[in-house]
């Protein structure tokens, strides 16, 4: 493998590093917690306006976070034009719209899959509102995750729920703005424990086919059973043209609330390696963080997550594809594996510093953030808010 530290960076690597971007989530900037407790953090964002301020700060330091996903109704405002202008002034744009189909009391037995048609209609009205907001803000992504499922055998007719799910997603799809995409997320369990209506990538894939070409699968890296090969899922969906994007995070057991790249960086690397290998087939993928920061500083954790993604992306770009293809063709199992691990083990911090400095960005975004006084300033201005500003428990 060529050595970027020695100045021999493969052609195109720097360009692709500069082009890499990831969307940060509004809910990652507010107070957020676990199923047991939300710990208030000094300076945590209380409103979408403050979340945009934080997102602009993250992008200014990393150069790789130009948009912010937002959640409805948590981030609803009266004047969307004003909000779009506010974001533009801070160097970011509004990204994916995330509907909330899990917190209303009427959703106790589900939303789009609920046995009561009145509740299903309410869920579709919310989807219609989100699509209208997309038009108002210029968003081209509707990110759909459902908490729908059952806790007990016999609680509901599973076949009927599948039909309701298909109908609800198809009706939502028909509401999309022109050229917008609907990304269908899945999770193998929780909050339902007997069955989940969208439990895996196969179900999400089948539903995307039912809806149409603007419906694709959203892979959340924390929503799989232990031992699942996420890179394989990514490869399959890419080959089918149905991978829409990612919610990136890390997990240890049951959920996705850890910073991406913090727990299993090799998994993140293999996912990115698969994407790089796909070339133009991966051109429109949406990379989004989906994290809530329970015990860490909100803005700093987001910056570190962006850096972790840049690090994994850089390593994936350094894979010697010629050597890998030859080893694979020769049946050289260990040799092929070594090509991958050589790239993974490479220290790319110098390369990333060089790329940042060429763009007049801080060589170390975390150190720049700590030196900027931003955290102290927002703590002084905002104080310590309640859980209202972020992902409620």
pLDDT grade for 390, boundaries at 50, 70 and 90: very low
Of 220, 226, 313, nearest to 274 (Cα)?
313
DSSP calls for 83-146: HHHHHHHTT-EEEEEEE--SSSGGGGG-STT-SSHHHHHHHHHHHHHHHHHHHHHT--EEEE--
Q: Which residues pair with 355 in a beta bridge?
A: none
Say whether 147 sits in a helix, a strand or coil. Answer: coil
Domains of the chain, each with CATH number or no CATH: 20-388 (3.20.20.150)
Tell me the C-alpha distance between 147 and 145, whole Å.
Answer: 7
- State CA 59 to chain mean position distance: 16
N-term to C-term CA, the chain: 47
CA neighbours within 13 Å on the CB side: how many for 225?
6
Higher pLDDT, 38 or 116: 116
Looking at every residue in the chain, the average pLDDT score rounds to: 94
pLDDT of residue 387: 54
Distance of alpha carbon 112 from alpha carbon 160, whole angstroms: 12
**Angle, helices 349-358/298-317, rounded to nearest 10 degrees:** 110
DSSP for residue 283: T
pLDDT, tens only, 78-117 = 999 999 999 999 999 999 999 999 999 999 999 999 999 9
Using CA atoms, how far residue 219 sits from 232, 236, 319, in Å, is: 12, 12, 23
Q: Give how far the C-alpha of residue 139 lies from the chain's centroid of Cα atoms, to the nearest Å.
A: 15
pLDDT of residue 391 exceeding 50: no
How far is the C-alpha of 159 from the C-alpha of 134, rounded, in Å? 32
Confidence (pLDDT) at 32: 81
Does the structure show a pLDDT above 70 at 357?
yes
pLDDT digits (tens, 9 = 90+) for 44-89: 999 999 999 999 999 999 999 999 999 999 999 999 999 999 999 9
pLDDT per position as a tens digit, 151-208? 999 999 999 999 999 999 999 999 999 999 999 999 999 999 999 999 999 999 999 9
Cα 281 from Cα 292, distance rounded (Å): 30
Give me the percent of the chain exceeding a pLDDT of 70. 96
Question: Which of the residue ranges 79-88, 328-337, 378-387 would you say has the lowest mean pLDDT?
Answer: 378-387
| Predicted model pTM | 0.95
């Amino acid at each position: 493998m060529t050595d970027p530290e020695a100045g021999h960076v493969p052609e195109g690597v720097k360009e692709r590093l500069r082009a890499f971007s990831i969307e940060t989530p509004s809910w990652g900037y507010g107070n957020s917690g676990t199923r047991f407790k939300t710990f208030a953090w000094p300076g945590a964002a209380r409103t979408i306006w403050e979340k945009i301020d934080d997102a602009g700060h993250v992008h200014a330091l990393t150069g790789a976070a130009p948009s912010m996903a937002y959640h409805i109704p948590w981030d609803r405002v009266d004047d969307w034009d004003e909000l779009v202008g506010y974001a533009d002034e801070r160097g970011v744009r509004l990204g994916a719209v995330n509907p909330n189909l899990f917190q209303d009391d009427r959703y106790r037995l589900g939303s789009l899959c609920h046995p009561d048609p009145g509740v299903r209609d309410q869920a579709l009205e919310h989807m219609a509102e989100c699509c209208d907001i997309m038009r108002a803000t210029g968003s081209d992504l509707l990110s759909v995750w459902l908490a729908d499922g059952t806790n007990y055998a016999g609680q509901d007719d599973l076949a009927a729920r599948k039909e309701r799910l298909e109908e609800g997603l198809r009706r939502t799809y028909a509401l999309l703005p022109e050229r917008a995409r609907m990304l269908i997320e899945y999770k193998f369990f929780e909050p339902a424990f007997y069955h989940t209506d969208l439990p895996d990538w196969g179900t999400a894939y089948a539903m995307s086919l039912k809806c149409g070409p603007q419906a694709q699968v959203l892979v959340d890296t924390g929503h799989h059973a232990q031992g699942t090969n996420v890179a394989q899922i990514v490869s399959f969906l890419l080959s089918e043209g149905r991978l829409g994007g990612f919610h990136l995070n890390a997990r240890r057991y049951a959920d996705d609330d850890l910073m991406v790249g913090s727990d299993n960086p090799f998994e993140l690397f293999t996912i990115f390696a698969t994407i790089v290998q796909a070339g133009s087939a991966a051109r429109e993928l949406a990379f989004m963080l989906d994290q809530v920061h329970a015990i860490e500083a909100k803005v700093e954790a987001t910056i570190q997550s962006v850096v972790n993604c840049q690090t994994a992306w850089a390593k994936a770009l350094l894979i010697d594809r010629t050597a890998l293809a030859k080893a694979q063709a020769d049946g050289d199992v260990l040799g092929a594996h070594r090509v991958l691990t050589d790239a993974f083990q490479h220290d790319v911090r110098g390369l990333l510093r060089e790329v940042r400095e060429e763009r007049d960005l801080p060589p170390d975004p975390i150190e720049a953030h700590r030196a900027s006084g931003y955290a102290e300033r927002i703590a002084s201005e905002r104080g310590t808010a309640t859980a209202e500003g972020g992902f409620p428990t």
